[in-house]
């Protein structure tokens, strides 16, 4: 059973370009969380999605950032018109369906560098 | 908002010594979890302790939880150079909610 997969592992963009980060949850998992880690910081929650629904996006900037988790395919975190401050490691985590799930399984992360 | 706060921010010890890291949080929780992160890598889940538990062991790891003080500690016994990493506590208020992470403790174990 493969773990959570993220790609690309490293992404370099110039200011103003778009960044698309992909997360494939573990098989059978229907909950996906995205977190961002700035250098020398802990992870900060961005958005929580279930299949085709955004459940909580309170940690995601209102502008330039969007996330989706379609019925088929991976979850996508999209950052439009990237700025240097977007440089960070972006982690996704997944958990199985059902209430009361308290274990999240993390992917290896995508390290975004904005030049 | 950042709930967990680890203490100390950085810790340097000799191989074979014990390492203790502390975590404080602000609101009620369902459980508290500790993770390890090697430099530039992903997170590795170490141990989870529920709000009705006071102490838990896993190998060389010992975690305590004091809900009255809203604090937890992680003890690594007989440390090894391979334990060098950043350690984060994360709290969960209820199932299917986001984890709230602290800023981490950077542990260096010198051989």
Q: What is the pLDDT of residues B30-40, one digit of tens each?
A: 999 999 999 88
Q: Do B31 and A102 touch (CB under 8 A)?
A: yes
Strands of the sheet with A19-24, listed across from one edge: A5-7, A19-24, A75-79, A65-68
| Partners of residue B39 in chain A, C-beta under 8 Å | none
Residues 6+ positions from A30 with CB-CB distance below 8 Å: A50, A51, A96, A97
Angle in degrees, CA A1, A105, B83, rounded to 5: 105
Nearest by Cα to B47 from A22, A102, A55: A102
Q: Do B95 and A108 touch (CB under 8 A)?
A: no
- pLDDT recorded at residue B6: 82
Q: Do B99 and A99 touch (CB under 8 A)?
A: no
Q: Which of A97-106, B12-21, B70-79 has the lowest mean pLDDT?
A: A97-106
The beta-carbon neighbor of A42 closest among B30, B97, B104 is B104
Contact pairs from chain A to chain B, CB under 8 Å: 62
Give φ, ψ of B105 to 5 degrees: -115, 130
Cα torsion angle, A39, A40, A45, A49, sign: positive
* More confident call, B104 vs B1: B104
- pLDDT recorded at residue B41: 86
| Partners of residue B1 in chain A, C-beta under 8 Å | none
Q: Do A43 and B30 touch (CB under 8 A)?
A: no
Asked if the model's pLDDT at residue B2 lies above 50, the reply is: no
- pLDDT recorded at residue B1: 40
Q: What is the DSSP letter of A15?
A: T
The beta-carbon neighbor of B103 closest among A42, A59, A102 is A42
Q: What is the DSSP letter of B93?
A: S
Mutate to test the interface with A, among B2, B23, B42 (most CBs of A within 10 A): B42
- pLDDT recorded at residue A87: 97
Q: What is the DSSP letter of B9?
A: S
Please give the Cα distance from B17 to B1 (Å, whole number). Answer: 34
- Six-digit token pair at B73? 């500690």
**What is the residue whose two structure tokens read 């308290």?**
A102
Please give the Cα distance from A69 to A77 (Å, whole number). Answer: 9
| Partners of residue B43 in chain A, C-beta under 8 Å | 43, 91, 106
Distance from the Cα of residue A71 to its chain's centroid: 16
- pLDDT recorded at residue B96: 75
List the pLDDT tens digit at each of the 115 positions of chain A: 579 999 999 999 999 999 999 999 999 899 999 999 998 888 999 999 998 899 999 999 999 999 999 999 999 999 999 999 999 999 999 988 876 667 888 999 999 999 9
Please give the Cα distance from A2 to A105 (Å, whole number). Answer: 11
Q: Which of A13-17, B1-5, B17-21, B66-70 has the lowest mean pLDDT?
A: B1-5
Please give the Cα distance from A36 to B20 (Å, whole number). Answer: 26
Nearest by Cα to B31 from A94, A104, A102: A102
Cα torsion angle, B49, A95, B101, A49, sign: negative
Instruction: Tell me the mean pLDDT in the region B75-85.
Output: 97
Which residue of chain B is at minimal alpha-carbon distance from A91? B42
Instruction: Tell me the mean pLDDT in the region B39-59.
Output: 93
């Amino acid at each position: 059973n493969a773990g959570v997969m993220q790609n690309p592992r490293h992404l370099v963009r110039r200011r103003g370009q778009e960044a698309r980060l992909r997360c494939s949850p573990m098989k059978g998992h229907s909950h996906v969380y995205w977190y961002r880690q700035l250098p020398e910081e802990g992870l900060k929650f961005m958005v929580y999605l279930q299949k085709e629904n955004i459940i909580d996006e309170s940690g995601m900037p209102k502008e330039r950032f969007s996330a989706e988790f379609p019925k088929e395919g991976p979850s996508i975190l999209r950052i439009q018109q990237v700025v240097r401050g977007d440089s960070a490691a972006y982690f996704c985590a997944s958990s199985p369906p059902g209430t009361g799930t308290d274990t999240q399984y993390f992917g290896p992360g995508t390290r975004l560098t904005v030049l | 908002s950042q709930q967990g706060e680890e203490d100390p921010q950085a810790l340097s010890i000799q191989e074979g010594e014990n390492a203790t890291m502390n975590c404080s949080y602000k609101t009620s929780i369902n459980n508290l979890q500790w993770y390890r992160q090697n430099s530039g890598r992903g997170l590795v889940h170490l141990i989870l302790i529920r709000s009705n538990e006071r102490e838990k062991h896993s190998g060389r790891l010992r975690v305590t939880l004091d809900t009255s003080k809203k604090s937890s500690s992680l003890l690594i016994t007989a440390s090894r150079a391979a334990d060098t990493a950043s350690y984060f506590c994360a709290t969960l208020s209820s199932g299917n909610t986001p984890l709230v992470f602290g800023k981490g403790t950077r542990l260096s174990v010198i051989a």
